[in-house]
Structure 1
Amino acid sequence: MQNWNELPEIMKNEKVKKYFKILNKQKKSLLGKRIFDFVVAVVLLLIVSFFMLIIAFLIKLDSRGKVFYKQTRVTKNGELFSIYKFRTMCENADQKGYLVTIDNDQRITKIGNILRKYRLDEVPQLLNIIKGDMTFVGTRPEVARYVNQYSDEMYATLLLPAGVTSLASIKFKNEQNLLNSSKDIEKTYMNTILPQKMKYNLEYLENYSFLGDMKILLVTLKAVLKKGD
């Protein structure tokens, strides 16, 4: 954990301080979390490297464009980073629609649908974890445009690195269903879905433990496998 005075000014408010004090007492556990992230990410990357080559080949075979998709997101302390994913949409999809996706999104490719179903598009985020931009369990990273609309309390989620999975991600794994019928997708996401997600994210910070992370990882694996049935 960094010192309170080292936080960006926008994060230094009383509501964030509550969560800062909680996490500051978990320094050893957070160090263990970082060691776990690094070691497991390196091992997994070695194991799935050949499989990643196959996915890359299928992506190139399926549609024109790059294999990997990079987008600027926000992580710990409000720092910007490039999140890595396998490309699941047509080339330049960001310029052809919203920053969130819905069911039957015409921008998603055939192989992209399969990768998203099993969350295989997120495998390249092992690189983000190794670099320290992300962690296995934590608040999913948002784009700066959404972060700039955070409430004071929401900024507490930036005390830790952005995560690949979280309790909020599990609870809202089918958030597209809520967006499908919306006339204003981004407004619905910001005003309805994001605040509900943040309740889970803040509860995670308030009750943080390394054991809790392990439980969330197991629940995530179960949810992904169930979705694939």
Structure 2
Amino acid sequence: MAKRVFDIVFALFLLTLLFWLIIVSVLMAAIDTHTSGLFIQERIGQFGTKFKIYKVRTIRESFSSVALPISKTGQFLRKFRIDELPQLFNVLKGDMSMVGPRPDVSGYYDLLEGENRKLLELKPGLTSIATIKYTNEDAILKKQADPLVYNDTFIFPDKVKLNLDYYYNHSICGDFRIILETIKVILFKKN
């Protein structure tokens, strides 16, 4: 109950401060990607239920083999994780929490076994210790011969381990520290 209150208060606070930025980002993305500017996708949530996640669109729907699929605006939005801000509405709806394992597409968390399935008891979050550790995940994967195999073999299992540690040790104070660390990493990370 305390975590839900924390989530609502924090999400409302951030929306009050950043709603204008969400609107501007969606408009910029709409112009740059020639779409609505919003990206809505099905993800796995608490207890393995599916929900629709909201993001600012950063990838063009159709692109030539010469063009990059990520728009120029999208590159900027991703760098500062502005594309994730619409998920504050997911937090208000109760689909997500401020802190928890990042929601994934089908085929990952929903297939966990044994003790690892405990992660499905948590609401997915906007950020987590794993998010902080793998803030440069795209760059890591770009260096791999087979990014999907590398993710499935090394990154995802490590995220599960980090998220299990969170499962057993989470607290409101800990969540606040994770949020502050996330802000620090976003603003001051090296490319």
Structure 1 consecutive aligned stretches of length 4 or more whose deviation exceeds 4 Å? none
CA deviation profile, 1:92-118 (whole Å, cap 9, x unmatched): 69xx9xxxxxxxx93110000000000
Distance in 2 of aligned mates of 1:67 and 1:117: 17
Distance 1:52 1:184, change over 3 A: same
Distance in 1 of aligned mates of 2:55 and 2:114: 30
Q: How far 1:66 moved relative to its partner?
A: 2.0
Query: Is the Cα–Cα contact under 8 Å of residues 22 and 82 in structure 2 kept in the other structure?
Result: no
Distance in 2 of aligned mates of 1:56 and 1:121: 9
- Alignment RMSD (CA, Å): 2.0
2:175 counterpart residue number: 213
The TM-score, its normalising length taken from structure 1, stands at 0.77
Distance 1:228 1:189, change over 3 A: closer
User: Identity over the aligned pairs, expressed in percent?
Assistant: 38
Distance in 2 of aligned mates of 1:67 and 1:48: 17
Q: Kindly name which structure, 1 or 2, has the bigger radius of gyration based on alpha carbons.
A: 1
2:91 counterpart residue number: 129
2:78 counterpart residue number: 116
1:76 aligned residue (46, 56, 79)? 46
1:20 counterpart residue number: none
Matched pairs, number: 189
Distance 1:92 1:191, change over 3 A: farther
Q: How far 1:63 moved relative to its partner?
A: 2.4
CA deviation profile, 1:101-156 (whole Å, cap 9, x unmatched): xxxx9311000000000000000001000000000100011111223442322211
In structure 1, give the amino acid aligned to 2:20.
F
The TM-score, its normalising length taken from structure 2, stands at 0.91
SS in 2 for 1:140: coil
In structure 1, give the amino acid aligned to 2:33.
S
**Is residue 2:59 matched to residue 1:89?**
yes
Distance in 2 of aligned mates of 1:181 and 1:46: 39
Q: How far 1:53 moved relative to its partner?
A: 2.0
Distance in 1 of aligned mates of 2:158 and 2:131: 11
**Is residue 2:29 matched to residue 1:59?**
yes
Q: How far 1:42 moved relative to its partner?
A: 2.1
CA deviation profile, 1:29-72 (whole Å, cap 9, x unmatched): xx111001112212322332222222222112222112110111
2:129 counterpart residue number: 167
